[in-house]
Amino acid sequence: MARALVTGATNGIGKAIAVALAKAGHEVTGTGRNADRLAALLEAGISPLALSMDDPAEIARQLEGREFDILINNAGTMPPLGHFTESDFADSARTVTVNLLGPMAVTRAILPGMVARCSGHVFFLGSIAGHAPYPNVAAYCATKYAISGFAHSLRMEVAQAGVRVTEIAAGRVETELYAGILSTEARAAMYANQTAIQPEDVAAMVCHVLAMPPHVDVTRFDINPTRIGSPTGTK
C-alpha cells in the first residue's frame, strides 16, 4: 500500500482522512503540534510527526529525504473574524504562512520524489472561500484563492510525470476551525440542523478520488452540506 503524509492530522478533517487512509491499509504519517493528540494517533495506526506549519525552513529540514506517495495538505488556521482594516496584521501574516507558505514548503519537500517515481497524488484542502468572496475573512479568503491557483498550476507542471493534484473545495465542515473565534453557542447554531458536513464525509471523498484509475485526475471536488445554514462562517 501507499505511504501517506497528512498535515494537521490531530483533529478535524486531517484526522478523519488519516484514519480513513490507515483503515484502507496505507502507511500513514500524521503531523500536528499537540503532543497528547499526536500520541493518540498511534492508537489508530498512524505514525505521529511533530511539525509546525508556520516555519517553512523547519518543514524542509524535517521532511528532507522522506518519501510519500500521497500528500494531504490539510493543516490550516483561521484568523479572528472582522474588518481587515481593524485587524491585527500579525494574524493575517500568520494565516498566509500557515495556509499558503506551509503547504508550499511541504509540497516542495515531497513532490520531487513523486515526479522521479512518475506517480503520486497531492491534495490541497481549499475552501468555498477560495472561489467566492466573504466579508470579515479577507486574509483567509486570500490564502484559499492562492491555494486554488497554486494547485491547478502545479497540476499542469507535473501531469506529464503521472502525478495527480486535487483541490478539495470544502463548504461548511464541523471542525475546531472556529474554536476561540466564535462562542460555543455561535458554533452550535452554525452547525445546527444538519447544515454542516462532517470530517468523515471529506475523508470518504478523498478515498474515492484516490481509487480512480491512474489516468484520471480529479482536479477539484466541491463538497457542501445539502441544507443551507446561516451565512456566518465558511470552512
> Choosing from 134, 140, 145, 178, which is the catalytic residue?
140
Distances (CA, A) of 31 to 7, 49, 52, 76: 5, 5, 8, 12
Dihedral sign computed on CA atoms, order 54, 79, 87, 139? positive
Q: Do 173 and 190 contact (CB within 8 A), yes or no?
A: no
Quick one: three-class SS letters along 95-132? HHHHHHHHHHHHHHHHHHHHHHHCCEEEEEECCHHHCC
**Active-site residue, 140 included:** yes
Distance between CA atoms of 48 and 26, rounded to whole angstroms? 14
Looking at the annotation, which residues are catalytic? 140
